[in-house]
Amino acid sequence: MFASNIGRMRFFLYSLGLAFAEGVVIIVCIIGTIGFEGLLNSTPGPSRQGMAGAVLVFSLIFVALRANIAWRRSRDANGKRWIVWGYIVLSGFYALLQAGTLLVIKFGDPESVPGGLNLLGLSIFGLWCTILWAKPVAGSNVDDLISTFDFDGPLPAPARAGRAAKSDVVVAPRAAAARVPPAPQPFGRPRPAGFGKRGV
């Protein structure tokens, strides 16, 4: 499950699901530690360490999951490794900066938000789009289907019966076509095979 190649659609859906799940988990971490009211009214520093630590741990878990699907997608498209490693490393840095931002941010002061966080997010999005739109290797989807469904084994009984019925239907017209009726004979008495008059 975590080792097979994945195509564009599955990579897109997996990434979308992980992003949604990560957002939900971060909200749960904030509610379970100091709450949104405590976050808004707290001062940056030690009072937010528990919340920032929980967010960091779960964010790194989601980074590992995204790294898994990115590696499988890149292997499906035979992509360049530096793109995948760049995506993984920058995602890890983003998780660290995200937790650090929650630790030091002052709500109501836009200057307290690190300016490089948005730039790093755009870089990660660009690498993600590159991995997404990479063309799959010819035959990779066929190999994936063959590994998923066993085509080499014996056919089930209904399939064998269906094929036998089809073969009978195909052979019957050929047999009917092989039996050509004889040509019709002309009316009247047949002519003699010899030459001259009868009895001569």
Residues across the chain: 200
Kindly state the tokens that stand for 53.
């630590």
Q: Which residues of 40-76 are buried (b: 16+ CB within 10 A; e: fewer)?
A: eeeeeeeebeebbebbbebbeebbebbbbbbbbbbbb
Rounded to whole angstroms, how far apart are CA atoms 66 and 22?
Answer: 11
Res 126: pLDDT: 94
Kindly state the tokens that stand for 113.
């938000």
Res 179: pLDDT: 60
What's the DSSP call for residue 76? H
Query: 105, exposed or middle or buried, with CB in 10 Å at 0-12, 13-18, 19+?
Result: middle
Res 110: pLDDT: 67
Res 135: pLDDT: 84
Q: Consecutive 10-residue runs of the chain (200 residues): their mean pLDDT? A: 80 95 94 87 85 94 95 88 94 92 79 78 94 75 46 47 49 50 55 51
Rounded to 5 degrees, φ, ψ at 192 are -70, 155
Amino acid (1-letter code) at residue 46:
P
Beta strands in 55-195 (DSSP E): none
Res 5: pLDDT: 84
Res 112: pLDDT: 67
- The tokens 């840095």 sit on which residue? 93
Query: What are the sequence ranges of the domains in the chain?
Result: 8-137
pTM: predicted TM-score of the whole model, two decimal places: 0.64
pLDDT in tens, 117-128: 888 999 999 999
Res 117: pLDDT: 83
Does residue 63 contact residue 91 with C-beta atoms inside 8 Å? Answer: yes
